[in-house]
Amino acid sequence: MVGPIKNNPLSSLHSPWVVVCITLLAAGLTRWAAAADAANTSNEAGLQEVTVTAEKFTSTVQDTPISITALTGEQLTSAGITRIEDLIGGVPGLSVRSAGPGLTEYDARGLASNGGAAPTVGFYLDEIPLSPPALSQSGKVVIDPDLYDVERIEVLRGPQGTLYGSGSMGGTVKIITTPPKLGTWEGTAQIDGSDTHGGSGNGSASLALNVPIGDMIALRLVASDKYRSGWINEVTLNPFPLPLFAPGPVPGSLVKATSYGDLLTAPVSSVDHNVNTEQLSNERVSLLVQPREGTSFTLFYMVQDLGMGGYDLLDSTPTTSTSPGPVYDAHFEAFPLREPIHDNIQIFGLTGTTDVGFADITSATSYFNREARQTEDSTLSMYYANVPGPPSPPGYYCAVPSATCTGPAPPAPGSYPPLVPVPYSEVDPSHQFAQELRLTSHDIAGLHYVVGGFYSVLHSVWQEESANPATIPFGIPDGSYFTSWNPYRVIQSAAFADGSYAITNQLKFATGVRWYEYNSDQHEESWGYDAPNTVPGTVTLTTAADKGYNPRFNLSYEPSPDLNLYATASKGFRPGGANQILPPSNLPPYCTPGTLSFKPDSVWNYEIGEKARLFDNWLTINSDIYYIKWNGVQQVFTLVCGYQYYNNAGDGRSYGPELEIHAKVTANLALQLSGAYTNARITNPTPAYQQYLSQQVTLPNGSPQCPVTGSCTAPILNIPKDTASAALIYTQPLPGDYELTGRLDDSFVGTSYDVAYFYGLTLPSYNIANFRLVLAHGPWSAHLYLDNLANKVALITANNTSFQFNAPQLVRYSTNQPRTVGIQFNYGF
């Protein structure tokens, strides 16, 4: 039966009870650990040190004086992390905006990526920068790479503009794959089977093989094939409840309807079950050639194909409060139109390194080709968007004119488009060439430096089409509601230098600067009933360019090998860009004018932090507090006509603390805690953004959150105020060299603010708890897991793929996978 979801997110997602329970338990366990450590006379090892290359040379997390979280491949497997999105809540300050696999953008420290043509978080696969399409309506979405046979993941928080460039204003995510190994035959295999509540069976198989070829060559082959069942239904109603008008402000008056009729009592024509399936295949090949000690070349190739039957989206109805209205476990349609998604990418990389005595020279060349396709059902949004609204004043129609109702009569049924199936398709082909050349010094007398240059060219095309050739609306020759062909090019160049000097054995100063220049251009040709032009042939060119410097300064002090104190000031920036052209304001869908281009935005990040080892490295505590000043915030403007565009919304700021604790309580018991509080707001909106906010309904009484004049602040979109995670891991040796490990973890994500159509919405907080039990013996292990123990339904974002259902009658929320129970087998050889 289709209806409101039984696990109501408004009543069950607010209490971080598992985090609280684990934290309270941790308080007692930590006291026990101190006593146990004092009495411990064995040589048990402490916590594992994780090696990182965040600063372009090898170090460890504890010895690197920046905010960084790193997880090894073994830690990813033990925690059941198969997607980058699974890190949310567990990595302080990291958040997402997503509609499912392949449709995820990342934010860090309150610097949202929803506005602009570039992300705020850089994304690297080894040495390869992966840029999202510049104009995709689903956001700054990067690929969703398979994480099998990954050596580690590094998440750098705060601007990384010196070493990583423009896409790393808020942070950088680096995936480091396991490299080929000379002289070693080895491999791993994994099979996985599970079942999802409300869906069906899931399965995957993965294999990695390292093949030595003589003394100087090694080949590593990795292949994965994964299937995830869906759990969301597409329900076709016939006839669909289509109220065009609703009661207005005075007796007998009518206004344009902003909600559907009763979806649950309408006749059901058909039901397509579990549509949001996922099929992923990934193959990687790495070839290492090492002709002599200190010189190596690595050739990398990856191909990944991701297909989904539909979005991970639930339907909801609008509400006059700041919280979601009734949420359903399905998507309702007037015609049985599927919404498939396809994402294919090929990645090539060639990295060469040679030791020249005083330094290493590294060349990193890469190229990727990606094509992302998605289709949405725009039938109802097109229909409602083109129902003529009442004139203003008086702002309403009159069913029967009277002394109290003075508006005009509502339009005749023939004055708006008929209800016909209108699939709305988007294709985003993109490709990028990138080259980096750098010199990394050896540590000589306390001096270490990295100097180099970078160049990249990104070509992406935003191609959209919505049409029904059987119905030619209002004389448009090809039956097009909206068709667009927008090639977009971004060229970036940079030169950088970064170095550190040990003033004393305890005091070290680091500084760096990156000079950058970018040029972008967009050629837009759009036509159709809802487009700027009614016929093809008109092309508009919009360009943007800028150049400047990104410096950073870092002072670190190590009074002992177990304590690292640091202070950082760093700058980051994001390029400006071009917008789509909005329809004329005197034609449907009656958009207000929007700017054709927007300027760059930039941040200054000020931070102090510490990294401490205690009890012979049985306990580490890493914490920081930061303040970010954000100039010229690029923000999305969602218009009442259903369109959106980007503009600089004003100046803002973000601040908060971040904390990570890892403890080996006893030789068998480990504890992990992390958390962050993020306060991110636009504090000085531009007149255009304040005018936009003054028209946006956000408060329970239907009033705007900002006045037309006077002071005003607004939250940054899609940023949870607080996140936390906790995990307990207990390992028990068994007879016969067997080992049993249990893991209980929970991630809490606090409330965040979002926009759907023209409504501001507060998304409720949620918890996701997981449990794993692992039995290991020698080279093999068996994992029994329960993901999403409490079967929570989280509302993650609203209408983030808003290129066609950005309409007042419907809000679609991205959601998480229901409770999933499964078993996994791993074997290494």
Give residue-wise pLDDT tens across range 712-738.
888 898 899 999 999 999 999 999 999
Residue with tokens 């510490």: 610
Residue 257 covered by a domain: no
Q: Total structural domains in the chain? A: 1
- Describe the strand order of the beta sheet including 797-798 as a list of residue ranges: 313-316, 811-814, 797-798
Maximum mean pLDDT: which of 74-83, 247-256, 409-418, 432-441: 432-441
Domain assignment of residue 592, yes or no: yes
Has residue 239 been placed in a domain?
Answer: no
Tens-place pLDDT, residues 31-51: 444 444 443 433 467 888 888
Measured CA angle at 358 (ends 352, 360), to 5 deg: 15
Cβ(744)–Cβ(670) below 8 Å: no
* pTM value surpassing 0.95: no
Letter string b/e over residues 278-314, b meaning 16 or more CB atoms within 10 A of that residue's CB: bebbbebebbbbbeeeeebbbbbebebebbbbbbbbb
Give the model confidence (pLDDT) of 663-719 as tens digits. Answer: 999 999 999 999 999 999 999 999 888 888 877 655 444 556 676 667 788 889 889
Given a cut of 70, whether residue 745 has pLDDT beyond it is yes
Say if 42 falls within a structural domain: yes
Is residue 693 classed as helix, strand or coil in its secondary structure? helix
Task: Encode pLDDT of 486-527 as tens digits.
Answer: 899 999 999 999 999 999 999 999 999 999 999 999 998 888
* pLDDT over 50 (residue 23): no
Q: What is the pLDDT of residues 263-295, one digit of tens each?
A: 888 999 999 999 999 999 999 999 999 999 999
Q: Is 96 helix (H, G, I), strand (E, B) or coil?
A: strand
Identify the three-state secondary structure at position 86: helix
- For residue 553, the enclosing domain spans 9-232+274-378+422-828
Cβ partners under 8 Å of residue 711, min gap 6? none
pLDDT digits (tens, 9 = 90+) for 294-344: 999 999 999 999 999 999 988 887 665 556 667 888 889 999 999 999 999
* Residue 129 forms part of a structural domain: yes
User: Do the domain assignments include residue 519?
Assistant: yes
Are the C-beta atoms of 725 and 746 separated by less than 8 Å?
yes
- Dump the DSSP string for 635-684: EEEE-TTS-EEEEE-EEEEEEEEEEEEEEE-SSSEEEEEEEEE-EEEEEE
Q: What CATH number has the domain bearing residue 24?
A: 2.40.170.20
C-beta separation of 229 from 249 below 8 A: no
pLDDT score of 689: 86
Query: Does some domain include residue 414?
Result: no
Question: 122 lies in a domain?
Answer: yes
CB 213 within 8 A of CB 221: no
d(Cα 175, Cα 164) in Å, to the nearest integer?
14
